[in-house]
């Protein structure tokens, strides 16, 4: 069941060549439990992998990779307004969104076409076009990697933030999320505040959730590099959220700075704008670089190493810090 010395290249969307000492794919909770107590891998580091679309592999992995293949979607309960839908963690996120659209369950249409698995979605509270998974999150089930105990996490316990949760911080690599239950709507409130969505929908008098999903899919396909063609892990950096006073000073120096107020005290700066203005957009070094249309996306044109990409991210971080005084934070998980 447990394989040895496996190439991880097919398992990360950056297309980075790295090896794993041990590798197992699990499609049931029992398989997962036996993998966790296997004598050969006791005491070794364990890493759960979904679609590999939010990781950068910088060195060989000397422990056990647990590739999540838990499948199944079920309706837990419903009332007139809401439906509670549980998805096992190994389902593809976009497949799950399509299941919701086909059944006219609303709330995640703006999150169409995000790569990866359902189980990784709470990890960074996936978000796009003004919606985050936390907006519809009900609960998740997870297994403690050390003890094998099965635990439930309510929304409060997940400590969701902007591309953040407790699983990215205090509980990183401590739990394997096995299922996620979302509370979806039967009567929908569409979120079309992002300019690109409004534009796409301007000729539809009464758009529905499928129209929003289709619009998001069209926009994403026109702007983002497809990892099947160019290796990438989506946005490499988070958009920084800075205090209003710091923003005012920056705006005096850079009146065009792309910004979105979060509340009275904080402002979100588009990291893509900073990287673009600093001259990095489209920059290519050998076989890797910064995407030509999306300054937030670092790309591997083929054969680049994880260290190459990491060093590029370091160079960008330092340059942004010196030009704007802003410390960018990596969104992608580095291993
Ligand atoms: P992986 O890369 O396999 O894992 C990511 C992290 O989560 C790792 O630390 C891993 O150990 C952990 N993990 C994975 N599964 C589990 C589990 N079951 N239990 C516990 N921990 C787990 N993200 C957004 O938020 N919004 C976007 O719009 C978006 N667009 C993207 C577009 C492109 C083209 C690409 C390549 C990426 C994009 N992403 C986006 C990033 C990425 O798709 C998401 O973060 C996604 O949720 C990652 O899922 P995954 O299964 O591939 O996770
Ligand atoms: P975009 O529409 O060109 O906008 C650039 C940035 O400005 C985005 O990062 C977005 O922040 C922010 N923004 C735009 N309109 C906004 C509004 N009305 N209110 C608040 N913030 C606004 O962005 P894009 O790069 O094409 O991406 C579109 C969406 O997909 C974004 O939500 C982005 O986060 C998401 N996406 C994420 C990834 C990833 O890997 N994480 C990859 C591709 C796309 P936010 O990022 O906070 O939304």
- Round to whole Å and give the CA distance between 289 and 295: 10
Task: State the Cα torsion 248-253-254-259 to the nearest 10°.
Answer: -10
- Round to whole Å and give the CA distance between 23 and 239: 34
pLDDT band at 283 (very low <50, low <70, confident <90, very high): very high
Residue 164 is among the residues annotated as catalytic for this protein: no
- Round to whole Å and give the CA distance between 139 and 149: 17
Q: Tell me how many domains the chain contains.
A: 3
Q: Is the predicted pLDDT of residue 195 greater than 90, yes or no?
A: no
- Round to whole Å and give the CA distance between 210 and 218: 12
Verify that 288 and 254 share a domain, yes or no.
yes
How many percent of the chain have pLDDT more than 70? 100
Verify that 77 and 198 share a domain, yes or no.
yes
Q: Which atom of ligand 2 is nearest to the CA of 234?
A: 40
- Closest C-alpha to 188, from 326, 81, 92: 81
The residue written with tokens 């049931």 in the block is 28
Find the 120 Cα to ligand 2 centroid distance in Å: 19
Verify that 94 and 214 share a domain, yes or no.
yes
> What confidence tens digit (pLDDT) does each residue in 302-314 have?
999 999 999 999 9
Which residue among 156, 191, 222 closes a domain? 222
Q: What is the CATH number of the domain that holds 16?
A: 3.30.43.10
Find the 226 Cα to ligand 1 centroid distance in Å: 15
112 to 105, 150, 218, 333: CA distances (angstroms): 13, 30, 10, 22
Which of the listed residues 108, 194, 266 should we mutate to test ligand 2's pocket, taking the one with most ligand atoms within 8 A of CB? 194
The β-bridge relationship of strands 61-68 and 19-26 is: parallel
- Tokens for 8, please give them: 């991880």
How many percent of the chain have pLDDT more than 90? 99
Find the 235 Cα to ligand 2 centroid distance in Å: 9
Verify that 297 and 317 share a domain, yes or no.
yes
Region 34-63 average pLDDT: 97
Which residue among 68, 85, 117 closes a domain? 68
Verify that 94 and 35 share a domain, yes or no.
no
Region 138-166 average pLDDT: 97
Which residue among 68, 87, 120 closes a domain? 68
**SS3 state at 144:** strand
**Nearest protein CA to atom 31 of ligand 2, as residue:** 128
Verify that 78 and 203 share a domain, yes or no.
yes
H helix or E strand, kind and range, residue 127: strand 127-128
Residue 165 is among the residues annotated as catalytic for this protein: no
Task: Show the domain range for 41.
Answer: 3-68
Verify that 78 and 216 share a domain, yes or no.
yes
The catalytic position among 163, 165, 200, 233 is 163
Region 229-249 average pLDDT: 97
Q: What are phi and psi of 62, to 5 degrees?
A: -95, 10
Q: What is the pLDDT of residue 138?
A: 98
Residue 7 is among the residues annotated as catalytic for this protein: no
End-to-end CA distance of the chain: 24
Shortest-distance ligand to the CA of residue 127: 1
Instruction: Establish whether residue 122 lines the binding site of ligand 1, counting it when its CB lies within 6 angstroms of any ligand atom.
Output: no
Q: What is the DSSP string of 174-193?
A: TEEEEEEEEEEESS------
Region 153-181 average pLDDT: 97
Q: Is the predicted pLDDT of residue 90 greater than 90, yes or no?
A: yes
- Round to whole Å and give the CA distance between 12 and 47: 13
Q: What is the pLDDT of residue 1?
A: 85
Q: What is the pLDDT of residue 317?
A: 98
Residue 144 contacts residue 178 (beta carbons within 8 Å): no
């Amino acid at each position: 069941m447990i394989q040895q010395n496996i190439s991880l290249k097919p398992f990360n969307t950056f297309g980075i060549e790295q090896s794993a000492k041990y590798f197992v794919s699990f499609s049931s909770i029992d398989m997962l439990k036996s993998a966790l107590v296997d004598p050969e891998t006791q005491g070794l580091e364990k890493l759960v992998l979904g679609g590999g679309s939010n990781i950068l592999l910088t060195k060989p992995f000397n422990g056990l990779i647990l590739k999540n293949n838990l499948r199944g979607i079920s309706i837990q309960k419903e009332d007139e307004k809401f439906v509670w839908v549980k998805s096992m963690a190994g389902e593809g996120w976009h497949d799950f969104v399509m299941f919701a659209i086909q059944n006219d369950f609303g709330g995640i249409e703006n999150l169409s076409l995000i790569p990866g698995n359902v189980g990784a979605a709470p990890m960074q509270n996936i978000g796009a076009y003004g919606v985050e998974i936390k907006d519809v999150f009900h609960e998740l089930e997870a297994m403690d990697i050390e003890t094998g105990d099965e635990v439930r996490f309510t929304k409060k316990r997940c400590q969701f933030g902007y591309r953040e949760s407790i699983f990215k911080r205090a509980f990183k690599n401590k739990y394997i999320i096995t299922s996620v239950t979302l509370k979806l709507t039967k009567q929908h409130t569409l979120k079309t505040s992002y300019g690109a969505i409004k534009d796409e929908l301007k000729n539809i008098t009464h758009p529905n959730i499928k129209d929003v999903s289709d619009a998001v899919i069209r926009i994403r396909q026109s702007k983002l590099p497809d990892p099947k063609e160019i290796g990438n892990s989506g946005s490499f950096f988070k958009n920084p959220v800075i205090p209003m006073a710091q923003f005012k000073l920056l705006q005096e120096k850079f009146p065009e700075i792309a910004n979105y107020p979060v509340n009275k005290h904080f402002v979100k700066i588009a990291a893509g704008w900073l990287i673009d203005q600093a001259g990095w957009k489209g920059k290519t070094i050998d076989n890797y670089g910064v995407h030509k249309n999306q300054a937030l996306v670092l790309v591997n044109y083929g054969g680049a190493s994880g260290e190459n990409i990491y060093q590029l991210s370091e160079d960008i971080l330092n340059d942004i810090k010196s030009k704007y005084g802003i410390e960018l934070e990596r969104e992608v998980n580095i291993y």
